[in-house]
Chains A and B, each alone.
Chain A
Amino acid sequence: MARIDLVDLAHSYGGNDAAPESFALKPVTMTWRQGGAYALLGPSGCGKTTLLNVISGIITPSRGKILFDGKDITPLSTQKRNIAQVFQFPVIYDTMTVGQNLAFPLKNRGVPKAEIDKRVAEIGRLLDLEPYLNRKATRLTADAKQKISLGRGLVRSDVAAVLFDEPLTVIDPELKWQLRSKLKALHRELDLTMIYVTHDQTEALTFADTVVVMHDGRVVQSGPPAELFDKPAHTFVGYFIGSPGMNILPAEVRGREAKIGGHVIALDRSYDNLPSGAKIEIGVRPEFVEVVAPAPGLLAARIERIDDLGRIRFARVRVGNAKLAARAPAGFTSADSSAGLKFDPSHVHVYADSLLVEGAA
């Protein structure tokens, strides 16, 4: 039960003297509040597991500090940190029963027997492991084993946070949903801080109330799922989250107008003080671009194909050399694959060197 602060935290596997760009985790300062459900989202190799291992103490960071409730715990070993962690592949103590597996972290800390029994029974009940408590853990399926791993993470009531490192990788898709909802329910019931590492946006967006997006060793945005969707702070967040991802187009922006290859798109806000020399792009989610019949005043595009996702259809179109995705309204067809694009000005964002620029009203 603690607030976790990261202060100028950075880590390089090549040691502190390595070039700043080669750091697996570039300097980050942020706060994880007590009781939050966080997801660390990013592609493989973006440093999310490194960050997790630094928090749990498996890795000692090259630089910076970690504070639990304001107390510096950077030099402390994993055992002394009061952190629980669940790994990608189930870790089971072969010779023990399911119950003994769950009791192991408590037993090692000298918790009284009565307390252990109570806690194991509770976690067993929450994870539906009750019928198997007296069975050898080796003989269970991978899902059950991973549940035991989860259980060992949750069994300690005093932990500062429970960290999950892509814990559902080995689980079948249908069971994934069940286990994920279970985790969410456990989070509400146990009031623990949970940090969940994943590269699957659906997993992140459904589990967490705050999603932290990482890219190339940096935290590029952290916020509730809706904010990541509506207002990506970085072009990477734009195209990593959402399916299909955000359309990013190089453009010239002046005042309330963006110019793409000679065509002018109206903007909701005014952008007058863009940094000179920066790479200027506009980003707009496919949900807010509509393909319609070509008409004067609309950006002309060629339709390459239309993907029918069931509830919604997305047209894959080409404007000059740029490829875009756009919403195709019901009943829309195009005989000669030419079309016009209609933008929703309130959802067109402007990026300078990949970072979001707030326009003036």
Chain B
Amino acid sequence: MDKTVNQKAWFLVLPVFLVVAFSAVLPLMTVVNYSMQDTFGNNQFFWNGVGWFKELLDPSTDLGGRFLASLGRNLFFSLVILAIEVPLGIVVALSMPREGWTVAACLVILALPLLIPWNVVGTIWQIFGRPDIGLLGYVLNAMGFDYNYVANEFDAWVTVIVMDVWHWTSLVALLCYAGLKSIPEAYYQAAQIDGASRWAVFKAIQLPKMNRVLLIAVLLRFMDSFMIYTEPFVVTGGGPGNSTTFVSIELVKIALGQFDLGKAAALSLVYNLIILIVCWIFYTVMTNAGVERKVQASSEPAVEPKPSAALKPVPALEPREGVA
């Protein structure tokens, strides 16, 4: 593999570099610039150094208090929906049919919530939960529950969580279903012969084989729920009080409501950093899970020679045809 050196190749990178510069690097740098300054309008800016960042991480200040509180709410929200959606998604995937026309029907039904735009989902649940005209709110109140997501913090949380579960469990279920479908029939037959119970089949075959897709599902759902904005904003507007104000809602309030560009810029940078770090951790864990296995396999003495050749299925040797 000889590499020829040709500096002109840099020109080929130039278009991409320009696009990325204008679409990502420059806006990001603008945000970095804002985060170091304060403004009182009129396009007048004053240098503030790392002041906003210090405030952000200090709960005793107004900015820090709001940021850390919303961050806490956001993390709690993500944990709750993961704790519900992942097991529920697995259960749904396990109870789906494995063949026949019902498969297609199930897939379509599962995909429906995923196809609805975020703010429409918010609107649906906003109306659905209203005690005066919403089906859910009206029925709950008629049954004697004092349900009102506008006035009651607990009700607001339940509504937002149920809405997210309704919207996104399908994604986890579809991923798990794909993982389940890739398990060869022989595994189930072998388990049957080995006398495995339903639970043992799940533990010994299905769960380990879904390992990979589950990691992806957790990553996607964590990231999405950690960045959630539209649905809770449409349903509760972050209320009652600040009880369902997540980081992104807080960010919009500061940036567009109060027009505190410096504070908002600092907050969005820290927010961004958290997401990047969590993504990186997930990515490392996922890739390492595979790599570590390979490294260990090659460093240990192989049980028998020629593992690579033996792994390939040998094409069936057909007996010769016709009479000699």
Contacts and interface: CB of A to CB of B under 8 A. Distances in A.
Interface of A: 43-44, 56, 58, 77-79, 83-85, 87-89, 91, 93-96, 104-105, 108-109, 132, 138-144, 149, 152, 169-172, 175, 199-201, 235, 239-240, 244-248, 286, 316, 323-325
B208 interface: yes
B324 A87 contact: no
Interface of B: 184, 186-187, 189-190, 192-197, 200, 203-205, 208-209, 293, 296-297, 300, 302-304, 306-307, 309-314, 316-320, 323-324
A248 B323 CA distance: 7
Given A105-B194, A199-B316, 20 more contacts: A43-B319, A78-B189, A78-B192, A89-B184, A89-B313, A94-B209, A104-B204, A105-B193, A108-B197, A132-B303, A138-B293, A139-B297, A140-B303, A141-B302, A141-B307, A149-B190, A175-B304, A175-B310, A240-B319, A324-B324
Nearest to A172: B310
B319 A79 contact: no
A88 B189 CA distance: 12
Contacts of A132: 303
Contacts of B296: 139
Contacts of B324: 239, 244-245, 247, 286, 316, 323-325
Nearest to B187: A91
Contacts of B189: 58, 78, 85, 87
Contacts of A325: 324
A139 B309 CA distance: 15
Contacts of B297: 139
Contacts of B303: 132, 140-141, 143-144
21 contacts: A43-B318, A79-B193, A91-B187, A93-B204, A95-B203, A95-B204, A108-B195, A139-B293, A139-B296, A140-B303, A141-B302, A143-B310, A169-B313, A169-B316, A170-B312, A170-B313, A171-B310, A172-B309, A172-B310, A201-B319, A323-B323
A234 B318 CA distance: 19
A71 B314 CA distance: 39
Contacts of B200: 104, 108
A245 B316 contact: no
Given A170-B310, A286-B324, A85 B193 contact: yes
Given A108-B197, A143-B310, A87 B186 contact: yes
Contact of B318 (A44, A170, A247, A248): A44
A143 B305 CA distance: 9
Contact of A79 (B192, B203, B318): B192
